[in-house]
């Protein structure tokens, strides 16, 4: 049995063992995924602004927690970006991120207060955030377990631990809201809708900007469906069944379902089959 190190909250880039880097163990497919993930994580400040608008008027502790979450997400991007720069000297985080931001920005979030949430309520928003953190926690756990390069294994482990804590943060915020609870099918719809949003431009375009150079754009133009498929196939290769089931259980808990019940089992099987199909196209 493999036991993973559990990293404390509040770590800094200076604590990462950068001298552990072993270029002979860099996996090109994992590196491509790392580059794309760096851009997505580094983009957190936009979502901080959005969540602060959703929680306009909330107690200072809630706003501080959102800001801390954003700072940690941005640090994830910096850590992954620094690793990618070490593994591929042609990659520059700031340049790739500037290109990504020029071509992609999150959907426009309008309004003030609770009405600002595109999920319809703060509870709905927190369910969506729990879905995201479930996915990232499982993704970086899978990356850690699949990786043979020691530095990336450490970075992925640190991020996975943070993402699990972020899930707990948003889960606690969900249950702390004074709003009436949502009907189960409404919560399920929000969760499924958020999962489907993973097929939008953010992940696909991040993968494109991270792995296709400006010089290659003319011969490798961006098509969302193409790079969404490539990104999904690349990511699917690192998962094992246990990571998927853990993710589904976390989502199930957030929507009020039994994490170990029949719905979670069926959902886990469906997601696993889809990943295997995606991985087969890599």
Q: How far is CA 277 from CA 69, 256, 265, 274, in A?
A: 33, 29, 18, 5
Report DSSP state, residue 115: G
Beta strands in 95-221 (DSSP E): none
> Is 184 a domain residue?
yes
Give the span between the Cα atoms of 95 and 238, in whole angstroms: 27
> Is 9 a domain residue?
no
pLDDT in tens, 216-275: 999 999 999 999 989 888 888 888 899 999 999 999 999 999 999 988 898 888 888 877
> Is 18 a domain residue?
no
Task: Please report, to the nearest 10 degrees, the dihedral formed by the alpha carbons of residues 274, 147, 142, 44 taken in order.
Answer: -100
Sign of CA dihedral 179, 196, 129, 68: negative
- CATH number for 201: 1.10.620.20
> Is 199 a domain residue?
yes
Query: 112: domain range?
Result: 26-280
pLDDT at 78: 98
Report DSSP state, residue 126: H
> Is 5 a domain residue?
no
CB atoms within 10 A of CB 269: 14
Listing DSSP states for 39-105 in one string gives HHHHTHHHHHHHHHHHTTT--HHHHHHHHHHHHHHHHHHHHHHHHHHHH-TT--HHHHHHHHHHH--
> Is 153 a domain residue?
yes
Among the listed residues 92, 98, 84, 89, the one whose alpha carbon sits nearest the alpha carbon of residue 35: 84
> Is 177 a domain residue?
yes
Q: What is the pTM of this model?
A: 0.92
Spell out the per-residue pLDDT of the chain, length 282, in tens: 444 566 778 899 999 999 999 999 999 999 999 999 999 999 998 899 999 999 999 999 999 999 999 999 999 999 999 999 999 999 999 999 999 999 987 765 544 444 578 898 999 999 999 999 999 999 999 999 999 999 999 999 999 999 999 999 999 999 999 999 999 999 999 999 998 887 678 999 999 999 999 999 999 999 999 999 898 888 888 888 999 999 999 999 999 999 999 888 988 888 888 777 765 544
> Is 232 a domain residue?
yes
Query: Number of structural domains, the chain?
Result: 1
């Amino acid at each position: 049995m493999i036991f993973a190190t559990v990293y404390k909250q509040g770590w800094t880039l200076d604590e990462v063992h950068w001298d552990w880097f072993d270029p002979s163990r860099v996996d090109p497919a994992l590196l491509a995924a790392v580059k794309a993930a760096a851009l997505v994580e580094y983009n957190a400040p936009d979502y901080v602004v959005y969540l602060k608008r959703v929680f306009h008027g909330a107690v200072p502790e809630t706003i501080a927690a959102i800001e801390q979450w954003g700072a940690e997400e941005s640090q994830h991007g910096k850590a992954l970006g620094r690793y990618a720069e070490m593994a591929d000297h042609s990659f520059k985080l700031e340049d790739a991120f500037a290109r990504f931001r020029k071509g992609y920005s999150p959907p426009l979030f309008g309004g003030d207060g609770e009405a600002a949430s595109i999920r319809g309520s703060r509870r709905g928003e927190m369910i969506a955030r729990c879905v995201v953190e479930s996915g990232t926690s499982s993704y970086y756990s899978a990356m850690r377990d699949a990786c043979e390069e020691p530095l990336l294994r450490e970075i992925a482990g640190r991020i996975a631990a943070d993402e699990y804590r972020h899930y707990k943060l948003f889960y606690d915020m969900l249950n702390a809201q004074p709003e009436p609870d949502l009907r189960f099918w409404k919560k399920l719809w929000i969760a499924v809708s958020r999962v489907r949003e993973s097929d939008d431009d953010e992940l696909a375009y991040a993968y494109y900007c991270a792995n296709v150079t400006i010089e290659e754009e003319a011969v490798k133009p961006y098509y969302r469906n193409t790079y969404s498929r490539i990104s999904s196939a690349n990511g699917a290769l690192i998962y094992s069944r246990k990571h998927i089931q853990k993710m589904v259980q976390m989502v199930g808990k957030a929507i009020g379902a039994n994490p170990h019940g029949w719905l979670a089992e069926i959902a886990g099987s469906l997601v696993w089959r889809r990943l295997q199909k995606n991985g087969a196209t890599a």
